[in-house]
Amino acid sequence: MKTGLTVETKNLTKRYGNFTAVNHLNLDIKAGESYGFLGPNGAGKTTTLMMLLGILKPTEGEVRISGELVSSDAFNTKGLIGFVPENQSFYEEMSAWEYLMFFAKLYQTERPKERGQEILEHLDLWAWRDVLISGYSNGMKRKLGFARATIHSPDLLVLDEPIAGLDPLGIIQIRELLMAEQERGCTLLISSHILSEVEKTVNRVGIISKGKMVWQDTMENLQQWVTEKQHITITLSSVDNEIIAGFRSLPFVQEVISEGNSLCLVMDQAGDYREDISRFILQKNLILLEMKEEKTTLEEAFVNITENNVQDLTGETER
Amino acid sequence: MKPRDNLMTYQSKTKARLHAINVLQQRNSRSKLWGLGVFLTMSVAMGVSSILVGNVIKFSKANILLSSKQPLLVPILVNGVLLSLYLALLASAGISKEYDKGTLETLMVGPVDEISFVIGNFLAHLKVFGLTLLAALGWSYLCIWLLNFSPRPDIIALLFANLFMASELIAFGVLTAVWGGKTKNALIYFILIILFLSGIQLANSVVASIVQIENAHVGNSLILVRNVLTTTNRFIQWISPYSQVRYAMQSILDQRYFAYLLSMGLMVLQTALLLIGSVLSLKKKGVRGIV
């Protein structure tokens, strides 16, 4: 069983001229944890990962991996990290096997041939091992990137948009590989702009928007937060401001969003308010055409968090 | 941290760095030897050298005297110059390609730092040059056997000088790759700098010969140009590996062994400076061309 590496950033900041890509980011990932690093495109995820891996130098702040400051000559720490970038590049003139064995040697992997065979077989690439990488499809190259990143059984696996470009079977294979690594005690850091992609793999998430951390909690708490409000959409024969104000005055209604003759009523999860709503409609002599309960998905919650509704962790409201 | 811990960290880093250098140089030299380019250039270089030896033989037969004390030295020098230039270009193109394609980033995320990357690539190309030198040695002894020349140790001394010349040129190729970042830029830098330095040397000899021929009739401005070019040329001769290896060859012929060793030392020093420059540039520029 591995111990896994910890990742800690303090006020990590990256500026390009006047543009701040990452703004005083504080991350604290525990050993053996599976952490989802989420955010929309351009939020600063890849820049953060590049600083974690020592490829980019922070403008301000620091990165420590298992207590050691990240630098290009931190051989011991770097030798324990596996990285799958979003855009992968290979030595295309090599065969997959030569490529894997080169990295196994570089990382001083124990029993490289057995390990290489195990991974390639799991990813259905074993039969293709002697084919030049230039002949591989994009999906096969992505899988080979995973094989390279895990050949040395890393203690920290950093993945940037890991399943982009993979077919459903490939996604399952990668998920199994990640779970196996996690069971071994490896720390996982998965960056993605798709929440559902990491939902099944991670146990804690950090959501970044415009370079700032706006949400950091366990996956369980995020799901609970998503489901703590219920949305009921009603369609009436006609809607005016007086009707909207009437619904707003109901004690259990927190927010009313109108769109044409439809009203979306946002309420807490304390009870079933459908009966109360029906009674109110009858009292006001309104004609109800439709009533349905809307479930908020994690994706919608993610959009809400990153776009407007949530106070970020620094206390400023992103609007 | 205690001094003993510092020493252990230093030792472990050095060991890890040496391992990375070794793995990188093995991969790179193998990939160069798999290509046809090295063998093609080696064949051309040996062809040119053989033509030069043929000319010496023809001249000797026509004039019933040997034109040189050691007729194989110039062909070996030409062979070395062609191959070292090719390998330096290959180093420049190969390293900048790693930048272009992003494979450098994949390496640097792992247990590779700027020093191990630069030295690993440098040694890979030098190793390939070393192998071509062995072929050149074989060719020389074939000539000696076929043409009944005397087997003198000068040949070995010149082959060594060639190795040092190649090391300086390859280090220069590495530096232009780091400067250029993109393959196209790296090759343009490499070719332009070589052309600029050769152009000054050529211009200097042209202007100097004009001044010598038209001694009484040349104006002050031409004399000034000659003086500037001569001074620049003196500096270039100090930094040019070709000038140094020519000087080394002359020292061999004149049996001035200290001068020979001095040329070697100078080339080693310049190689070291070029490699240090490459490492510092790579550190400053970063793997993505931005830090």
With a cut of 50, say whether residue A259 has pLDDT above it: yes
Closest partner CB to A75 (pick from B16, B31, B101): B16
Closest partner CB to B109 (pick from A57, A83, A93): A83
Measured CA to CA, the distance from residue B137 to residue B132 in angstroms comes to: 9
Measured CA to CA, the distance from residue B8 to residue B12 in angstroms comes to: 6
Q: Which chain A residues contact residue B106 at CB under 8 A? A: 83, 85, 88-89, 148
Q: Which chain B residues contact residue A50 at CB under 8 A? A: 288
Sheet with A60-65, strands from edge to edge, namely A19-29, A7-16, A60-65, A68-69
Residues 6+ apart with CB under 8 A from A205: A35, A36, A37, A38, A195, A198, A215, A216, A217, A218, A219, A222
What percentage of chain B exceeds 90 in pLDDT? Answer: 39
Closest partner CB to A105 (pick from B23, B109, B112): B23
Q: Which chain A residues contact residue B23 at CB under 8 A? A: 102, 105-106
Residue A84's Cα: distance from chain center in Å? Answer: 14
Residue written as token pair 């004039």: B63
- The string of pLDDT tens digits covering residues A168-179 is 888 888 888 888
Measured CA to CA, the distance from residue A9 to residue A23 in angstroms comes to: 12
- The string of pLDDT tens digits covering residues A13-35 is 999 988 999 999 999 999 999 99
Measured CA to CA, the distance from residue B76 to residue B54 in angstroms comes to: 13
Domain A229-295 in CATH: superfamily? Alpha-L RNA-binding motif (3.30.70.1560)
Return mean pLDDT, chain A.
Answer: 87
The CATH number of the structural domain formed by A7-224 is 3.40.50.300
- A7-224 shares its CATH topology with A229-295: no
The larger pLDDT score, comparing residue B145 to residue A111, is at A111
Short-list A151, A120, A149, CA closest to A136:
A120
Short-list A164, A184, A202, A33, CA closest to A115:
A184
With a cut of 70, say whether residue B237 has pLDDT above it: yes
Q: Which chain B residues contact residue A83 at CB under 8 A? A: 106, 109
Phi, psi of B289 (to 5 degrees): 80, -5
Q: Which chain B residues contact residue A16 at CB under 8 A? A: 290
With a cut of 70, say whether residue B285 has pLDDT above it: yes
Q: What is the pLDDT of residue B7?
A: 61
Distance from the Cα of A306 to chain B's closest Cα (Å) equals 28
The residue type found at B29 is S
Short-list A88, A75, A74, A37, CA closest to A208:
A37
Q: Using the beta-carbon criterion (under 8 Å), do B113 and A72 form an inter-chain contact?
A: yes
Do the bridges between strand A68-69 and strand A7-16 make them parallel or antiparallel, or are there none, so unpaired?
A: unpaired
Domain ranges of chain B: 10-285
For residue A61, give the DSSP letter: E
Q: Using the beta-carbon criterion (under 8 Å), do A89 and B106 form an inter-chain contact?
A: yes
The larger pLDDT score, comparing residue B196 to residue B215, is at B196
How many residue pairs from chains A and B have C-beta atoms closer than 8 A?
A: 78
> What chain A residue is nearest to B94 in terms of C-alpha separation?
A91
SS3 A310: coil
Q: Using the beta-carbon criterion (under 8 Å), do A75 and B106 form an inter-chain contact?
A: no
- The string of pLDDT tens digits covering residues A43-53 is 899 999 999 99
Domain ranges of chain A: 7-224, 229-295
Q: ipTM for the complex? A: 0.84
Residues 6+ apart with CB under 8 A from A190: A34, A35, A36, A37, A159, A162, A178, A197, A198, A201, A202
Q: What is the pLDDT of residue B217?
A: 65
Measured CA to CA, the distance from residue B108 to residue A148 in angstroms comes to: 14
Chosen from B31, B109, B280 to mutate, greatest number of chain A CBs within 10 A: B109
The contact set of B with A (CB < 8 A) is 12-13, 16-17, 19-20, 23-24, 27, 31, 34, 101-103, 105-115, 283, 286-288, 290-291
Roughly what angle, to the nearest 10 degrees, separates helices A168-183 and A112-122? 140
Closest partner CB to B13 (pick from A56, A73, A85): A73
Closest partner CB to A55 (pick from B12, B23, B105): B105
Q: Which DSSP string do the residues of A128-190 spell out, in sequence order? A: GTTSBGGGS-HHHHHHHHHHHHHTT--SEEEEESTTTT--HHHHHHHHHHHHHHHHTT-EEEE
Tokens in use for A72? 């290009």
- The string of pLDDT tens digits covering residues B170-197 is 999 999 999 988 889 999 999 999 898 8
Q: Which chain B residues contact residue A102 at CB under 8 A? A: 23, 27
A153: left (phi over 0), alpha (psi -120 to 50) or beta: left
With a cut of 70, say whether residue B8 has pLDDT above it: no
- The string of pLDDT tens digits covering residues A206-251 is 988 888 888 888 888 877 777 777 888 999 998 988 999 999 999 8
A58 falls in which pLDDT band (50, 70, 90)? very high
For residue A9, give the DSSP letter: E
Distance from the Cα of A135 to chain B's closest Cα (Å) equals 17
Q: What is the pLDDT of residue B19?
A: 96
The larger pLDDT score, comparing residue B250 to residue B127, is at B127
pTM: 0.83
Quick check: A76 contacting B, CB < 8 Å? yes
Q: What is the pLDDT of residue B53?
A: 84
Do A263 and A290 form a contact (C-beta atoms < 8 A)? no
- The string of pLDDT tens digits covering residues B39-60 is 999 899 889 888 888 887 887 7
Q: Using the beta-carbon criterion (under 8 Å), do B16 and A91 form an inter-chain contact?
A: no
Average pLDDT of the segment spanning A255-259:
85
Residues across chain A: 319
